[in-house]
Structure 1
Amino acid sequence: MWHYPNNVNGPFNIYSYFVGSNPVTSVNPTPIFPKINKTAFLSPFTYIVGDVTIRNNTYVGPFVSIRADEGTPFFIGSNCNLQDGVILHGLKNKHVEVNNRKYSVYIDDEVSCAHGALIHGPCQIDKKVFIGFKAIVYHAQVGEGSFIASGAVVTGGVTLRPGSFVPPGAHIDNQKKADSLSNVPKNEQEFAQEVQRVNQEFPSAYSFVFGKNRCTCGLSC
């Protein structure tokens, strides 16, 4: 049973988020509604607009902003987690190419984006990447299994080879710096794996808590 102070009036626990098509502008003249797998979970106060694809069992935390209103489209794979306060946005007409298709932001399967991270297109994040607290990835390609630690910045058109470790607070803005990075330490690999394990349980667990029935569009019915 829930207990509230006598002087507080409801309603309580309003489950609310915004999912909609992008606004029509000269930059992005065609309104497109997001395509969200019914097994993904959108937390309260999530904001998603435009040509965004979110695949199965992905967890989107509170106050996440995914705005495909300028750079577009965005792709977010299966079993990803975008934690509280993560921001995704992209620059107009700037793309990465994956499987012969252009994307503003491409995030592959089992990627973890920790609290407050900023992912800005054009960028490609490959499988099993960990992006730490308040880290920034902009105009970059991040190889599979890489670990970007808290407060780090990866930018400048660089490509991180698979398994690269970006130390806390590092600023990787040219290819020479990117090529000099060491491999991900074992303890950080284990940490990233545990984050994945925990967050993969959240979509189904939170769906049960909120008692939601989901349409194929991703909205509550």
Structure 2
Amino acid sequence: MIKTPGIYPLHQIIHPNPPVAEVPHSATPRIGRNSVIGVNSMVIGDVYVSDDVFIGFNNVIRADSSAPFFIGPRTNIQDFVLIHCHPAQYIKADGRKMGVYIEDSVSILHHAAPHGPLFVGRNTFIGQHASIYDARIGRNCVIMHGAVITNGVSIPDNRFVEPGQNVWRQAQADALPQVPEQYRKLNSQIVDHYYRLGKSYQRNTSLVF
């Protein structure tokens, strides 16, 4: 881990959480090698950000009401994304209680709100303005723009949620179709782009650290 706690010149904030009853111990975020954090983004509390993660501009990742959070390698969190968790609620992942657990190579687009307790499987795409609160999302899923997923549902692997669709009953989740052919490479293309974009920001700008 290479980034130390602090408030950086372009208002990137990496900071321990203040202790409360639901999260009684203060913890400092751990940021992986070659990960980038853009202007006005903050990471607070017991958050493990893996290697090669892109965190863009104006994002908020707060593990101050439930912890820990895990963000897997090569995940991209674009702009104006909020990641938080309901107080003292958890999912089970990697043999542990977690507030939010995001596997590797996940894309979370602008203005999305993935809210815990939450698990997101690898190679899943979460579109703009998607709202997710208390759910398990499988691997290789495509959650399109403006979708709403809540109420503790579990979405199986390889499923497609249409733009603006609401999924709040398990029967709805079980009935979701397979990802259509035209969207099956969507996430891998976005992951590749943001991996390269993050490296270019590091080499050519002062907008990330």
> Which of 98, 101, 113 does residue 118 from structure 1 map onto?
113
Structure 1 residue aligned with 2:196: 201
1:74-124 per-residue CA deviation (whole Å, 9 max, x = no partner) reads 100000000101110001221111121110000000000010000110010
SS in 1 for 2:74: coil
Structure 1 residue aligned with 2:71: 76
Instruction: Give, in whole Å, the separation in 1 of the partners of 2:145 and 2:50.
Output: 26
Instruction: Give, in whole Å, the separation in 1 of the partners of 2:47 and 2:148.
Output: 24
Count of paired positions = 201
* Greater CA drift, 21-30 or 86-95: 21-30
1:43-74 per-residue CA deviation (whole Å, 9 max, x = no partner) reads 11111100000001000010010000101111
Structure 2 residue aligned with 1:190: 185
Instruction: Give, in whole Å, the separation in 1 of the partners of 2:22 and 2:95.
Output: 23
Structure 1 residue aligned with 2:3: none
SS in 2 for 1:201: helix
Letter in 1 for 2:31: I
| Correspondences of 1:1-221 after superposition (within 5 Å) | 15-210=10-205
Letter in 2 for 1:115: H
Letter in 2 for 1:42: I
- Cα offset for 1:205? 1.4
Give the TM-score taking structure 2 as reference length.
0.92
Instruction: Give, in whole Å, the separation in 2 of the partners of 1:93 and 1:211.
Output: 37
Instruction: Give, in whole Å, the separation in 1 of the partners of 2:151 and 2:112.
Output: 17
Instruction: Give, in whole Å, the separation in 1 of the partners of 2:22 and 2:157.
Output: 34
Letter in 2 for 1:178: A
Structure 2, unpaired ranges of 5+: 1-8
Letter in 2 for 1:26: A
Instruction: Give, in whole Å, the separation in 2 of the partners of 1:211 and 1:182.
Output: 43
Runs of 4+ in structure 1 displaced over 3 angstroms? none
SS in 1 for 2:198: helix
Instruction: Mark the structure with the bigger radius of gyration.
Output: 1
- Cα offset for 1:166? 0.3
Letter in 2 for 1:140: A
Q: What do you get for the CA RMSD once the two structures are aligned?
A: 1.5
**The structure with more strand, counted as a fraction of residues:** 2
Letter in 2 for 1:84: D
SS in 1 for 2:104: coil
Structure 1, unpaired ranges of 5+: 1-13, 213-218
- Cα offset for 1:181? 0.5
Instruction: Give, in whole Å, the separation in 2 of the partners of 1:65 and 1:130.
Output: 19
* Greater CA drift, 72-81 or 187-196: 187-196
SS in 1 for 2:135: strand
Instruction: Give, in whole Å, the separation in 1 of the partners of 2:94 and 2:47.
Output: 17
CA contact (8 A) 2:23 2:88 kept: no
SS in 1 for 2:80: coil
SS in 2 for 1:102: strand
- Cα offset for 1:211? 5.8
Letter in 2 for 1:117: A
Give the TM-score taking structure 1 as reference length.
0.87
